[in-house]
Amino acid sequence: MPGRVLSTDQAKTSIQQIQAIVNGGLTDQISQLDAQGKLLSNPDVWDGPLARQFRDQTWPETKAALDKAAQELDQLRDQLQKIAQNIMTAGGGS
């Protein structure tokens, strides 16, 4: 006996909304944060004790988190495409 397969309009809408968020600006905003962090890390742009702390500690930690988030968003984008296809298949392609 096959397992239950369900595809509601709500599921389709949710997947489309997640795709729109991921594709429509979230990754761009991460790139923008990265660019500004790089600028602030330049001692010719900003220097002093707090700037050094930012360059040496705050920005490297933040940059690593941003890189990880961008990588996870790429993986999510791939998964969303598979999920969308599965929803369309389960719903008869409508």
Q: Map tokens 């598979």 to a residue.
A: 82
**Segments forming the whole domain that contains residue 71:** 27-38+47-94
User: Is position 3 within any domain?
Assistant: no
Instruction: Give the pLDDT of residue 85.
Output: 83
Tell whether the model's pLDDT for residue 59 goes beyond 70.
yes
User: Is position 17 within any domain?
Assistant: no
User: Is position 34 within any domain?
Assistant: yes
The total number of structural domains that make up the chain: 1
Distance spanning both ends of the chain, measured CA to CA? 25
Confidence of residue 6 (pLDDT cuts 50, 70, 90): confident
Question: 62 with 37: CB under 8 angstroms?
Answer: yes
User: Is position 54 within any domain?
Assistant: yes
Confidence of residue 78 (pLDDT cuts 50, 70, 90): confident
| Identity at 64, one-letter amino acid code | A
| Identity at 67, one-letter amino acid code | D
Instruction: Give the pLDDT of residue 91.
Output: 59
Stretch 15-41: mean pLDDT: 89
